[in-house]
Amino acid sequence: MPLGYFHSPVPIRTIGPGDIRCDINHIQAAREQLLQWPNRGPKWYLAADACLAAIDGKVPPDEVRKVFVEAAMEAGFLLLES
């Protein structure tokens, strides 16, 4: 299975001590991060569904990126570039 790389990475902060930046640049990494988030709002579910659909080849990687960004923003994990 190809990883399904995004056109550009999504900068997020990870869960754990301190604010650690992680650049998510493919579907599998997005899926792994989503599974670690404690709060699962409506956008989380859209992103999780998009990841699974992309793994099955039904959704392009950049559509996953779009909904992953929205989910990260909703959950407070998105790091905005300065």
Smallest CA-to-CA distance from 77 within 29, 47, 35, 37 is with: 37
- Tell me, yes or no, whether 79 lies in a domain: yes
d(CA 55, CA 28): 8
Longest pairwise C-alpha distance within the chain = 37
What are the pLDDT tens digits along the chain (82 aa)?
Answer: 456 999 999 999 988 777 789 999 999 999 999 999 999 999 999 999 999 999 999 999 999 999 999 999 999 999 986 4
> Does 74 fall in a domain?
yes
Q: How many domains does the chain have?
A: 1
pTM equals 0.91
Domain containing 59: what range? Answer: 25-82
Asked if the structure places residue 33 within a domain, the reply is yes
DSSP output for 23-56: EEEEHHHHHHHHHH-S---HHHHHHHHHHHHHHT
Q: Residue 23's pLDDT is what? A: 96
Could you tell me the two tokens for 61?
A: 């990687």
